[in-house]
Each structure stands twice: as C-alpha cells, then as structure tokens.
Amino acid sequence: MKYFLPALYLLFVFSAYSQNGTEISQIEKVDFKKAAAQLRILPEKMKVEGKVSYVFDVLQEADSIYIDARNMKFEELELNGKPVEYTNTGSRLWLRSDFKISENNNLSLKYEVSPSQTMYFVNWDLPENIEANRQVWTQGQGKYTSYWLPSFDDMKEKLEFDLSFDFKKGYQLVANGVLQEKLQLNDSITRWEFDMQKPMSSYLVAVATGDFMSDKFVGDSGVPVQLYYLPQDSAKAEPTYRYSDRIFSFIEKEIGVDYPWQNYKQIPVQDFLYAGMENTGTTIFANSLMTDSIGFKDRNYVNVNAHELAHQWFGNLVTETESKHHWLHEGFATYYALLAEREIFGDDYYYWKLYETAEQLKELSDDGKGEALLNPNASSLTFYQKGAWALHMLREKVGDEAFRAAVKSYLEKYKFSNVVTEDFLAEVEKTSGQDLSGFRKNWLEQSAFKANAALNSLKNSEFIKSLLEIAALREVPFSQKSEKLSEALDFPVNDYIGQEVVIQLAGEDSPETIGLYKKAFDSNNIFVRQVIAMSMDQIPLSLKSEYESLLEDESYLTKEAALFSLWMQFPEDQGRYLEKTKGIEGFYNKNVRMLWLALNLATPSYQSNKKQQVYKELSGYTATRFPVEMRENAFGYLYQLDAFSEQNLLDLLEGTQHFNRKFRNFSRELLEELLKSQEYQEKYVALSKALPESQQNYLNQKLSN
C-alpha cells in the first residue's frame, strides 16, 4: 500500500481539474500580489537559476495553493520564514499548509530549470570564434512564462513583478519595468535590476538580451520610449521606427487614457516566433521587420508598431478572462493600429485595408467557414480583422463621441483587472443610450460576415466608390472599358485604383493596351509600377525599355520581380541585368541578393571565373547562425538549382528541429521532398552517423517511411 498512497493523495488533493474536465482556478482563494525574483541566466547551458519571493493574501481557508512551474527543481521553500511542505508535479508546485484568511504572507524559494520552450537561446551553441547574434529572449503568449519563471498560467492572476537578472558582461539586457540599477558583479557578470509598479498577468513577463544599441524619445505625456537595434542595423533604425513618436502620441490621444506603464521599449530579436509580442512595456518583435528606406515602401514596421502599442491598453491594462473574449485584445489592437495608419497614410489607405480584409472575411464566410467573434477557437483572421470591423461598425452606429467615452470609461473602470465582452458593451450602451443586442448578434455571435453592411460602410469613402467602379469592369471586354481605364491612369494616379487598372491589363496585347501600359509606366507611381513588374507574364519588345526601368525603382519587390522576368525573357541581356543589380541586398532575407546569386550560377557566360565564390556565398546562408528568413530563402534556391552540399543537408536536418515552427515546418517539408530521391536517401544515410540524437531519430523515422 505504501507505493499507492502518494499517488492517490496527489489525485484527490492536487488534481487541477474538476469532474467535468474544467480546470480549477484558485483565484477565489488566494491573491498573489507581488513577485520579486533574482535570476541568473546561463546561456551556454540554456539554463536559469533563481530565487523568488512572493507576497500573497489568503481570501478563503485552504489546505493547499499552487504556483505553475514546468519541469523545475526546487529547494529552500519557506512560508512566512518557516519550511513548508510541497509537492512538485512537474507542471505545478503545490504548497501544503493550514492556510487561514490573512494578508501579506511571504513565500520564498530557490529553483533551477532548463526551459524547453518560452525562453529561447539563439546561437549560444556555436563556437566562440564564429560571428553571430547571440541572444536570449522570451515569448510567453497565453500561459507559458511558467517554463522559465515560477508564475501563474491563469491570466486572471495579476501581480507586480520586480525582476533582477545576472547575465554575461558585454550584453544589453531589457525587461519589464524601469532599470533601477546596473551592477558589475565581477569580470564576467552584470546584474540588471528592474522595478514594476503595477500588476500584470504572468504571460506578459519578458526579457531579451543581445548586442543592442538604442535611440530614445519622450512621449507627449512624458513617457520615455526606447528603441533598440543591432549595431549592424544602425542605418535601418530610423526607417524601421519611423513615425514611432507620432504613433505613440496619436494612440494615447485617440484612446483618451494615459499610457498606463512606467516606460516603453521595443526590441527586435532573431528568429522570433511571430511578428511581435506586446509584453508589458516591452514589445519584442521579429528582427526581419528591420528595414531601410527602400524596403519601407514595400514592408514596414508601422502596423506592428502600432498594434503592439495598442495592446498596452487592450490586453495588458484590461485582460480577457478567457479565449472566448480574445477579440477584446486582438480586435482592439488591430483597429487602433489601423486608425494610427490612417493618421499617417491617409483615408484611402484606411478604407483600402478595410476593403481588403472585408474581401477575405467574405470569402471565408461564403465558403461556409465563417466564425463568430465569441468563438474561443476562432482563427486569427476572425479575432484580428473581424474584430476590427466590429469596432469600425460599432463606432459608426453610436458615433465618435459615445464610442470614445465608452472606451475611456471601460479602461478606467477595469484597469489592472479582467473583462468579458459584456463589460465593454455595457459601457457603450451607457454612453450612447442605445440597445446593442442587434449589434452583438450580427457582429459578435453570427459566424457569417455581414458583407452588405460592410459594403455600405465602405461606400462612405469616395475613393472606394471609384475603386469599385473600376473593379466592376474586370469581366468587361477590354474594348468596352479602355477609355475608363485610361482615365483612371490620369495624373495623379491613385495607388490602389492604378493597381486595379494594371491587373485588368494583364494578358492583353493590343496596341491600345500597350499605350495604357506606357501611361502606367509614366505615372511614376511606385505601387502601380510594382504591379506591372509582378503581373506582366510576357514583356512586349515595345515595352522592353520601360520594363527595364523597373530595376531603378525604389522597391525591393519590384527589383526582384523585374530582374527575374527580364533574365528569363531576354537571354542575350542576362549579363547586363546581373551587372546592373549585383550590389543590391534587398529585404532582411536578402531577397534580391539571393535571386542574383542563383541567376548568376545559372548564367554560364557571366562571371565564369567566380562561380565557386558565388556558390559559396549562396550555400553559406543555410548555416545555423543566420536568421531563419535567410536560411529558408537560401534552401529554396538551392533546391531549384539542385545544388545541396553535405553541409546544406546537415543544416536542413537541423532546421527540422528548430524552435521556430514556421521554419521547422518548411525544413521538414523540404526534407521529405528530397528523401523521395534515392540519391538523397543515400547521402543522408552516409551523414547520419555523426548526427545529434534528436536529428538522427527524426531522420531514421523519415527514412523508414
């Protein structure tokens, strides 16, 4: 019996679930108010050691309470200065005691953990002589901070976190709160101490380390804002963070509630899992969003910048109780980011983005795949874009004044607490005096997208009316619409209407069409010309010189598309096109450069004495030290050239185990494609003996299929 009693005891006393499978929350019994942690991050060992002290109130008598802690080892646990009995289940630390209703209890503990996720160690496994971005960063979205810090997976448990970190000297470390002190402990370790003043959910705790530099500005309300970047990206700092001060001022003013935290920081990191994450006062985002002024025109950080900032109110200040109400985070952040872009780029941009997402939502709805906003399992498209549309329609319904007053009241009433959808709607009903039951049914509960209502709203824009008139001509024979298309290309050409005209020219080759293409080229509208580059399948000789001019445009998308099309269609000029574009890098993933390298290798007559050097560069970009965006691009071109070296094959296999899911899936799909070939099967068998165990097991599994 002695072998079974502990198991039964755990089953009945420490079960995290009720009989119906619903997870039990201790939020009614205990209120954790503060956590003070002294942490030591050991990047080479991919390990964290720490001491944490918690202050909590007992609200109801209990015989046990818990802290979420994944795969951690504990020692020296003390409750109010005395040892306390505990059980570590591997996912939770259960404390056993006679907990009476009381205030300001103190729990202290020591722990260590090697996080299997949430805290990521980038490039620390490389030899010291290899130049690479060595970083540590966290991504705790949802309920995953408990993989590196004993904390609380329940978003309803909010507490103040004061964190101190010991880390290798020579690196910048950024975390939530105000940096109170930076101490040099010895020749190799620096201590960073941060102070928070307000409570937050555990999933918003964050830390990032790296070789960062930073710029600063102060918002209109006096909030200090710090913008980080890598030294090699210093020339990209201004275009990447362009409009940041304007975005900050606009969103704070538009919301009507002062920024709720002590400061704000933005940190770009390598191989991030998403575009960005709104940790409290500390947004971490993908380094691939860093851009120069040319790339800014094609892809910029403005939307993500504004989106993550808006989350500081919607998600961080007021937090959903459960995923059913997730639109209160993502719909609001998407909507306010769009309002910020409207402030910067104008009304046409605003209505174009609404039109674009309405088309996506309508298609989903027409396919029978529409989702209600209050569906806890809805897709990102629903939570983000349908959520933004719901707010756009709600504001039109109740008016600007009532909408703004409701948002302000909602945030002030529920600050630092958790909310449900009814809490927000109640505030809107109060300020507007309107019954919102119909709105709730149509926009929050109905799975279908209200396309007709959306269209009527879009028609408030004269630009959208004009766009729809041109779009309606898609099925009309060219001879019957050429005059209207020509009029749409009159100076100044609207970005979006001009693009629609060019799309309708695709596949036409009459003299009149050539004339309209020339007019589109002459518009000098970079976005209209970009669509020409990306939609013209065959380049008429009469437009060759105009098409060649696309290589001069300040757009990396245009340069990439134009270079490939020209190289394919005019073999006699391949060397000239390559010579013209040989110094262009492109986006963060080196899109233009890698295309150039691949085309160089496929052009025997160009730089024939440099092929080995060119291949070495392209092949080298699959190395594990490079960002996943570059690696994926390089793998793609090597696959097309069928030019994998042994090291490329090893790098690909490493990718199948990468923590970045998108890159991991890409690597696995490419590996499966290669293994369809007997030649590559034999190559991998020959390489398998020297592989790490995880890679060897994965490869053996694929080879046996």
The answer to whether residue 11 scores a pLDDT higher than 70 is: no
Closest CA to 614 of 601, 602, 605: 601
Spatial neighbors of 493 by CB under 8 A, at least 6 apart, are 520, 523, 525, 528
What is the distance between the alpha carbons of residues 192 and 174, in angstroms, rounded to a whole number?
Answer: 8
- Taking the CA of residue 619 as centre, how many other CA atoms within 13 Å lie in the half-sphere pointing to its CB? 17
Q: Could you give the domains of the chain?
A: 318-460 (1.10.390.10), 468-569 (no CATH), 603-705 (no CATH)
Taking residues 302-313, report their average pLDDT: 98
Q: What confidence category does residue 18 fall into, taking pLDDT thresholds of 50, 70 and 90?
A: very low
Task: Order across the sheet with 85-88: list the strands.
Answer: 62-68, 92-99, 85-88
The answer to whether residue 616 scores a pLDDT higher than 80 is: yes
Helical residues (DSSP H) of 288-326, grouped into ranges:
293-298, 302-310
Q: What confidence category does residue 10 fall into, taking pLDDT thresholds of 50, 70 and 90?
A: very low
Where do we find the tokens 């009459």? Answer: 510
pLDDT single digits (tens) 332-382:
999 999 999 999 999 999 999 999 999 999 999 999 999 999 999 999 999
- Percent of the chain past pLDDT 70, that is, above it, reads 97
pLDDT of residue 31: 97
* DSSP structure class, residue 494: P
pLDDT of residue 704: 87
Q: What confidence category does residue 7 fall into, taking pLDDT thresholds of 50, 70 and 90?
A: very low
Quickly count: other Cβ atoms within 10 Å of residue 354's Cβ. 21
* C-beta of residue 387 within 8 angstroms of C-beta of residue 374: no
pLDDT of residue 356: 97
pLDDT, the chain, mean: 95
pLDDT single digits (tens) 95-111:
999 999 999 999 999 99
Which two tokens mark 252? 């704070």
* C-beta of residue 56 within 8 angstroms of C-beta of residue 30: yes
What is the distance between the alpha carbons of residues 44 and 209, in angstroms, rounded to a whole number?
Answer: 13
pLDDT of residue 508: 85
Rounded-to-5 percentages of helix, strand, coil across the chain = 50, 20, 30
Taking residues 456-479, report their average pLDDT: 96
Where do we find the tokens 């991998």? Answer: 684
The answer to whether residue 16 scores a pLDDT higher than 70 is: no
Return the amino acid letter for 144.
Y
The answer to whether residue 8 scores a pLDDT higher than 90 is: no
What is the distance between the alpha carbons of residues 25 and 27, in angstroms, rounded to a whole number?
Answer: 5
Taking residues 146-173, report their average pLDDT: 97
Closest CA to 591 of 573, 565, 564, 566: 564
pLDDT of residue 207: 98
* DSSP structure class, residue 440: I
Could you tell me the CA-to-CA distances from 591 to 275, 417, 596 in Å, in that order?
18, 45, 9
pLDDT single digits (tens) 375-390:
999 999 999 999 999 9
Where do we find the tokens 């299997």? Answer: 116
**In 3-state terms, what secondary structure has residue 359?**
helix
Return the amino acid letter for 644.
F
Q: What confidence category does residue 25 fall into, taking pLDDT thresholds of 50, 70 and 90?
A: confident
φ/ψ (deg, to 5) at 56: -150, 155
Q: What confidence category does residue 23 fall into, taking pLDDT thresholds of 50, 70 and 90?
A: low
Work out the angle between the directed axes of helices 511-522 and 526-535 (0-180°, nearest 10).
140
The answer to whether residue 1 scores a pLDDT higher than 50 is: no
Taking residues 559-582, report their average pLDDT: 98
Taking residues 653-671, report their average pLDDT: 97
* C-beta of residue 523 within 8 angstroms of C-beta of residue 531: no
The answer to whether residue 518 scores a pLDDT higher than 80 is: yes
Q: What confidence category does residue 142 fall into, taking pLDDT thresholds of 50, 70 and 90?
A: confident
pLDDT of residue 509: 84
pLDDT single digits (tens) 394-411:
999 999 999 999 999 999
**In 3-state terms, what secondary structure has residue 631?**
helix
* C-beta of residue 361 within 8 angstroms of C-beta of residue 381: yes
The answer to whether residue 17 scores a pLDDT higher than 80 is: no
pLDDT single digits (tens) 43-64:
999 999 999 999 999 999 999 9
Give residue 328's Cα distance to chain centre.
18
**In 3-state terms, what secondary structure has residue 459?**
coil
pLDDT single digits (tens) 173-228:
999 999 999 999 999 999 999 999 999 999 999 999 999 999 999 999 999 999 99
pLDDT single digits (tens) 523-539:
999 999 999 999 999 99
* DSSP structure class, residue 571: G
pLDDT single digits (tens) 430-457:
999 999 999 999 999 999 999 999 999 9
Q: What confidence category does residue 24 fall into, taking pLDDT thresholds of 50, 70 and 90?
A: low
